[in-house]
Amino acid sequence: MPDLITSIDYLADLELYKTEKPYAVVVSPENHDESIETNNLVFESREGLTITDIRGHENDISLETSGFTVTPNKSQLSNVESWDEIRAYQKETEQFLKDWFQADSVFCFDLKLRKNEPVTRLVKDLRDWTIPDAPAYGAHNDVTFDSGPMIIDNNLPTDLKEKYLQPGYRFRIVK
């Protein structure tokens, strides 16, 4: 497949963001108040970006050189919609990552089902992971240098914290 020339939306470089961090708040329907601003995000499109099809070149890509890797893994689940299917998918993914990274332990702290169709966030029950979300908008990263330790602290069960928050262990957050 030939390269694709396209545009990608990025967060605009606004003066506002020097004094106020960009934010977006997803609220559940019962807490939604239209008079309260739920985000301060402004995007700008960058044109003429080249997207290269990497199929057939997966072995040329590594975590160390590209920041990501391609790993073959076929799920045993054909559909993930119910709570039981979500939990089975989490367990299957944890085992795959444990084997792939030769890790002592893997803990799935988050899961987001996405559907490639418009979804209004205002009808989303934030406690129900079975309700799909819309595709992510624009270029973004899920974990930052500052948020990584907070994610570990907020999500790792106490027994795992006691074991792994010790010298000699390291964490990887895989998204």
DSSP class of residue 94 equals: H
pTM: 0.76
The pLDDT tens digits of the residues spanning 42-74 come to 999 999 999 999 999 999 999 888 888 888 889
DSSP class of residue 7 equals: E
Neighbour tally for 171: CB within 10 Å: 13
Distances (CA, A) of 48 to 5, 35, 45, 63, 71: 6, 38, 10, 26, 29
How many contiguous H segments (helices) and E segments (strands) does the chain have?
4, 2
**Which of the residue ranges 30-39, 48-57, 117-126 has the most confident prediction, judged by mean pLDDT?**
48-57
Q: What does pLDDT average to over the chain? A: 87
Rounded Cα–Cα distance for residues 138 and 14 (Å): 16
pLDDT band at 115 (very low <50, low <70, confident <90, very high): confident
Structure tokens at 171: 């964490």
Structure tokens at 166: 């010790």
Q: Is the pLDDT of residue 122 over 60?
A: no
Q: Is the pLDDT of residue 12 over 60?
A: yes
pLDDT band at 129 (very low <50, low <70, confident <90, very high): confident
